[in-house]
A = this chain, B = another copy of it.
Amino acid sequence: MEYRKIKDEDDSDIESSLKGKSHSVASSNVALGGGSNERTNWKRKGVVTCALTILTSSQSILIVWSKRAGKYEYSVTTANFLVETLKCALSLIALTRIWKNEGVTDDNRLSTTYDEVKVFPIPAALYLFKNLLQYYIFAYVDAPGYQILKNLNIISTGVLYRIILKRKLSEIQWAGFILLCCGCTTAQLNSNSDRVFQTSLPGWIMAIVMALLSGFAGVYTEAIIKKRPSRNINVQNFWLYVFGMAFNAVAIVIQDFDAVANKGFFHGYSFITVLMILNHALSGIAVSMVMKYADNIVKVYSTSVAMLLTAVVSVFLFNFHLSLAFFLGSTVVSVSVYLHSAGKLR
A191 sits at the interface (CB 8 A): yes
- For residue A302, which residues in chain B have a CB less than 8 angstroms away from its CB? none
A208 sits at the interface (CB 8 A): no
Interface string of A168-189 (1 = CB under 8 A from B): 0001100100110011011001
Cβ–Cβ contact A328 & B191, under 8 A: no
Bound: A343/B325 CA distance, A:
27
A331 in contact with B189 given A171-B342, A324-B194 (CB within 8 Å):
no
Cβ–Cβ contact B172 & A324, under 8 A: no
Interface string of A311-346 (1 = CB under 8 A from B): 000000000000111001101100100110011000
- For residue A178, which residues in chain B have a CB less than 8 angstroms away from its CB? 331, 335
Cβ–Cβ contact B182 & A328, under 8 A: yes
Interface string of A196-237 (1 = CB under 8 A from B): 110000000000000000000000000000000000000000
A193 sits at the interface (CB 8 A): yes
Cβ–Cβ contact B191 & A324, under 8 A: no
Cβ–Cβ contact A175 & B335, under 8 A: yes
- 23 interchain pairs (CB within 8 A)? A172-B339, A172-B342, A172-B343, A175-B335, A175-B339, A175-B342, A178-B331, A178-B335, A179-B335, A182-B331, A182-B335, A183-B332, A185-B328, A186-B186, A186-B328, A186-B332, A189-B328, A191-B191, A194-B323, A196-B324, A325-B325, A332-B332, A339-B339
**How many whole Å from A315's CB to the nearest CB in chain B?**
13
A148 sits at the interface (CB 8 A): yes
Bound: A191/B192 CA distance, A:
10
Q: How many copies does the complex hold?
A: 2
Cβ–Cβ contact B148 & A324, under 8 A: yes
- For residue A343, which residues in chain B have a CB less than 8 angstroms away from its CB? 172
Cβ–Cβ contact B175 & A338, under 8 A: yes
- For residue A338, which residues in chain B have a CB less than 8 angstroms away from its CB? 175
> For residues 252 through 303 of chain A, which have their beta carbon under 8 Å from a beta carbon of chain B?
none
A197 in contact with B328 given A175-B338, A178-B335 (CB within 8 Å):
no
**How many whole Å from A65's CB to the nearest CB in chain B?**
25
- For residue A325, which residues in chain B have a CB less than 8 angstroms away from its CB? 186, 189, 193, 325
Bound: A182/B334 CA distance, A:
12
**How many whole Å from A196's CB to the nearest CB in chain B?**
6
- Identify the closest chain B residue to A191 (Cβ): B191
Bound: A342/B323 CA distance, A:
32
Cβ–Cβ contact B148 & A189, under 8 A: no
> For residues 128 through 165 of chain A, which have their beta carbon under 8 Å from a beta carbon of chain B?
148
